[in-house]
């Protein structure tokens, strides 16, 4: 399968099992939303997909474009075409956003070199679509950024690196309406046969703009229900407790 394929995935951290048999398949060209209450394992899933050393896979497998990637380092997974937009982006003093992203671009596309001047022009052009001023790229990476600026910086990275599958971990948290629209429009412009995304969120509002092809509800470390965009409408109407009771037993909360 071209894309991301997860089969019967179990993972633990600090001796505690968090993921308990996740099954998910995401093809390029598709937008999947994963919803669920706090502690259901959503962010853990994104970290495990990207190879965070904090988690240990105890069973199951992750494949990307048909290749097993469970043993690969995070940077190797990124080079294959996976991307993670962090829920809480890191701050790095002394490193400008443009230098950081230029280094990432050169590592990602060694056969498509751009000078720093050419790359700065590309960043400014792409940044305008996200409402970023020209001086934004010269600021230290995420240092002093507002919550919305951090999330837009993550989306700018995604636009420049052009992954095959992007994981957006609660990108909508902390965004005002204008920023939410800008971010959603940027993701929508990337939609193509070559790009797919997993959107992790608590709320339906970002899905009103992104229009996902599939919605999955996660609880207690596994996906308990999958469907179309109408599933998010049901969740909005009934709430997590009622939906989880209907499809997955009790509303259990685990540490992410």
Closest to 24 (Cα-Cα) out of 41, 12, 7 = 7
Separation in Å, CA 227 to CA 105, 217, 223, 232, 240: 36, 9, 11, 9, 15
Mean pLDDT of 57-81: 95
Helix (H/G/I), strand (E/B), else coil: 96:
strand
Domains for the chain: give ranges and CATH numbers.
Answer: 3-88+164-248 (3.40.50.300)
pLDDT 10s digits, 90-103: 889 999 999 999 99
- For residue 185, is pLDDT > 80? yes
Residue 254 has pLDDT above 50, yes or no: no
Give buried/exposed letters for 108-135 (b at 16+ CB in 10 A, else e). Answer: beeeeeeeeeebbebbbebbeebbbeee
CB neighbourhood size of 146 (10 A) = 12
Q: Which residues lie across from 251 on neighbouring strands?
A: none
pLDDT in tens, 38-52: 889 999 999 999 999
Scanning the structure block, which residue is given the tokens 């939906």?
243
pLDDT band, very low/low/confident/very high, at 251 (cuts 50, 70, 90): low
Tokens of 247: 């499809």
Confidence check: pLDDT of 221 > 70: yes
Quote the pLDDT of residue 157.
93
């Amino acid at each position: 399968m071209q894309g991301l394929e997860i089969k019967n995935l179990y993972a633990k951290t600090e001796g505690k099992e968090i993921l308990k048999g996740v099954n998910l398949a995401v093809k390029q060209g598709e937008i999947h939303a994963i919803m669920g209450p706090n502690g259901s394992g959503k962010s853990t899933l994104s970290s495990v997909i990207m190879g965070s050393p904090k988690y240990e896979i105890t069973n199951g497998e992750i494949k990307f474009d048909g290749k097993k990637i469970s043993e690969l380092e995070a940077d190797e997974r990124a080079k294959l075409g996976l991307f993670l937009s962090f829920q809480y982006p890191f701050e790095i003093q002394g490193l400008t956003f443009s230098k950081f992203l230029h280094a990432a671009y050169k590592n990602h596309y060694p056969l498509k070199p751009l000078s720093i001047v050419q790359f700065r022009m590309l960043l400014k052009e792409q940044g305008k679509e996200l409402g970023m001023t020209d001086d934004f790229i010269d600021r230290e990476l995420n240092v002093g950024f507002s919550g919305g600026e951090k999330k837009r910086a993550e989306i700018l990275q995604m636009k420049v690196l052009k992954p095959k599958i992007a994981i957006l971990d609660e990108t909508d948290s902390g965004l005002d309406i204008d920023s939410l629209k800008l971010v959603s429009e940027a993701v929508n412009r990337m939609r193509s046969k070559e790009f797919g995304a997993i959107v992790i969120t608590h709320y339906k509002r970002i899905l009103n703009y992104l229009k996902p092809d599939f919605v999955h509800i996660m609880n207690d470390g596994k996906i308990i229900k999958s469907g179309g965009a109408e599933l998010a409408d049901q969740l909005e109407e009934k709430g997590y407790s009622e939906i989880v009771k209907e499809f997955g037993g009790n509303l259990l909360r685990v540490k992410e």
